[in-house]
Amino acid sequence: MERIIALDPGRQKCGMAVFDDGSLVHKRVLATGELKSEVLQWYNEHSQLLVGDRTGSKNFISELREMFGIMKEDIILVDEHRTTLEARTRYWQEHPPKGWRRWLPTTMQEPPEPVDDYVAVILAERYFRQVIGG
């Protein structure tokens, strides 16, 4: 399997997740201005780029195409509907609230850090389900 780089572009921050052979090897949230240099560190000719289809994706895809000289059809748009809610749920599963916050429903709490990296992971998982099935 190829390297998958899933990107959740945003105006100020972006999520990125890198998968090799279907396994997550890297994820992080970065400032939008840092994303290109981070992608350059992970991108190679065997990489598949996935981009969430919402905020700023058209401009972002144009920039990716210019930066890497790849065809539009080599970048796959993935439906981003409700990924932020899924990402918050995933965050709380991995980082359960402590102290008095554990008594509040997590649906009423905001994670203390951005979850854009979790969104990128979810985008890749949606792609895997489409390609592999399940």
How, if at all, do strands 47-52 and 3-8 pair?
Answer: parallel
Domains by residue range for the chain, with CATH: 3-85+114-132 (3.30.420.140)
What integer pLDDT is reported at residue 81 of this predicted model? Answer: 95
pTM of the model: 0.92
Q: How much is the average pLDDT of 58-67?
A: 83
CA distance 64 to 133: 28
How does residue 24 score in pLDDT terms, banded at 50, 70 and 90?
Answer: very high
The answer, yes or no, to whether residue 85 has pLDDT greater than 90, is yes
Q: Is 120 exposed, middle or buried (0-12, 13-18, 19+ CB in 10 A)?
A: buried
Q: Is the pLDDT of residue 1 over 60?
A: no
Which residues on adjacent β-strands are paired with residue 4?
Answer: 19, 48
The stretches of the chain forming alpha helices (DSSP H) are: 32-42, 57-68, 83-94, 116-132
Top-confidence residue, 76 or 132: 76
The pLDDT, as a whole number, for residue 80 is 93
